[in-house]
Amino acid sequence: MAEGLSDPARAGGTFPGGEAEVISLKNVHKSFGSGDRRISPLAGVSLAVARGGKLVIIGPSGTGKSVMLRLILGLLEPDGGEILVFGRRLSSLDGYELQEIRKRMAMLFQGGALFDSMTVGENVAFPMRAMGERDEERIRVVVSERLRQVGLPDTGDKMPSELSGGMRKRAALARSLACRPEIILYDEPTTGLDPITSDAIADLINDTHASLADIRVTSIAVTHDMRVASKVADRVLMLYGGRIVGDGPPEMFRRLGEGAPAPGASEEDRMIRQFVRGEAEGPIRTVA
């Protein structure tokens, strides 16, 4: 903790190395399996995320979006290339240093990943306790506040198994927001939710981002939902076939999705167009 105070990043300065990027991926490769069954979700991805930004990653199912978030958290190690978070090279950190870095990040897992041996309230309190918060009264207040924010008041005493899928997702969201993180990663925060709740969650992501503006929080969300993407993002990234096929403001993606296909459009632009419009026909092949 003492380390955090003297950290220039906390004080709003730049990082060791002078970059303003909180996260940077340099030519990252990651594959699974071997032989014929080898798949390469990431084949040379480079990316820099500016501090304070709201990045949305889109792409068809199974293209390595979740893998990318796991790499950023250090849950997976890249086969090649390097990943820097807060200016620190993840591969050079020992277990303890990695933990300290992770304490400054929060992740909403695709499946929620609530601890099913604990009540919802204890789940939301967990990261606070893990960060060393001992004031039970404060924990109680924050927990009920976070649960109210995600539209789940009075569920603190329920077990996760008693909630519906969408409620579980929102409870997990409450848990990841409990600790004022500097980087928040959302893996499909609205998948499986009704459109109204999805919209409310998008608002919540925006509100959280605004409320943590003092520490210049960086939000990264993975989603399939173009509505959520355009509502949340100030930058959109499309991943397909192990590489980045599109990178720009949400307007660019909306523009590419509209109207008749431009003659002579690049392969990338046609992919974006296909994804944004949600068409099975096109350069992206998901079902063989």
Partner 1 sequence: MLRHVTALGGVALDGLRGVGEVAILFFQCLAWLARGLPYKREVVEQFYFIGVQSLPVILTTGAFTGAVLAYTSYNQFVALGVESWTGAIVAKAQVWQLGPVLVGLMLAGRVGCSITAEIGTMNVTEQIDALSTMGTDPVRYLVLPRVIASFFMTPVLTIFAMMIGIIAGLGMTVFVLGAEWHFQWVEISEWMVSYDYVQGLSKSLVFGVTISLICCRNGLKTTGGAEGVGKATTTANVASCIAILILNLVMSIFLFYAQPLWDRVADIIAYAVSEAMSVLIGWWNLAA
Q: How many residues bind partner 1 (CB under 8 A)?
A: 23
State the Cα–Cα distance between residues 92 and 55, nearest whole angstrom: 26
Give whichever of 3 and 267 is closer to partner 1, judged by the CB atom. 3
DSSP label at residue 160: G
Structure tokens at 104: 């400054």
Helices (H), 93-225: 95-102, 120-130, 136-149, 165-176, 195-211
Site of tokens 């604990």 = 118
Q: Which parts of 86-125 interact with ligand ATP (CB under 6 A)?
A: 110
Which among 61-69, 99-107, 131-139, 280-288 is the span making contact with ligand ATP, rule CB under 6 A? 61-69
The minimum distance between CB 249 and partner 1, in angstroms, equals 29
| Residue 63 binding partner per list ligand ATP, Mg ion, partner 1, none, with a CB distance cut-off of 5 to 8 Å that depends on partner kind | ligand ATP
Task: Check the CA dihedral 197-277-255-59 and report its sign.
Answer: positive
For the chain, helix (H) and strand (E) counts, in that order, are 10, 10
**CA trace torsion 78, 79, 81, 85 (10° rounding):** 10
Give whichever of 143 and 236 is closer to partner 1, judged by the CB atom. 143
| Residue 115 binding partner per list Mg ion, ligand ATP, partner 1, none, with a CB distance cut-off of 5 to 8 Å that depends on partner kind | partner 1
41 sits near ligand ATP (criterion: CB under 6 A): yes
The minimum distance between CB 13 and Mg ion, in angstroms, equals 34
66 sits near Mg ion (criterion: CB under 5 A): yes
223 sits near ligand ATP (criterion: CB under 6 A): no
State the Cα–Cα distance between residues 166 and 278, nearest whole angstrom: 23
169 sits near ligand ATP (criterion: CB under 6 A): no
- Among 22, 55, 67, 73, which residue interacts with partner 1 (rule: CB under 8 A)? 73
The minimum distance between CB 280 and partner 1, in angstroms, equals 28
223 sits near Mg ion (criterion: CB under 5 A): no
Q: What angle do CA 80, 82, 84 make, to 5 degrees?
A: 160
Give whichever of 86 and 109 is closer to Mg ion, judged by the CB atom. 109
Residues in Cβ contact with 27 at an 8 Å cutoff, skipping those fewer than 6 apart: 44, 45, 46, 80, 81, 82
The minimum distance between CB 64 and ligand ATP, in angstroms, equals 4
Q: Are strands 183-187 and 218-222 parallel, antiparallel or unpaired?
A: parallel
Contact call for residues 31 and 41 (beta carbons, < 8 A): yes
Site of tokens 């924010």 = 149
Which among 22-30, 104-112, 210-218, 245-253 is the span making contact with Mg ion, rule CB under 5 A? 104-112
80 strand-pairing partners: 29
Interface ranges with partner 1 (CB under 8 A): 70, 73, 75, 95, 99-100, 102-103, 105-107, 109-111, 113-117, 126-127, 130-131
Interface ranges with Mg ion (CB under 5 A): 66, 110
Interface ranges with ligand ATP (CB under 6 A): 32, 39, 41, 59, 61-67, 110
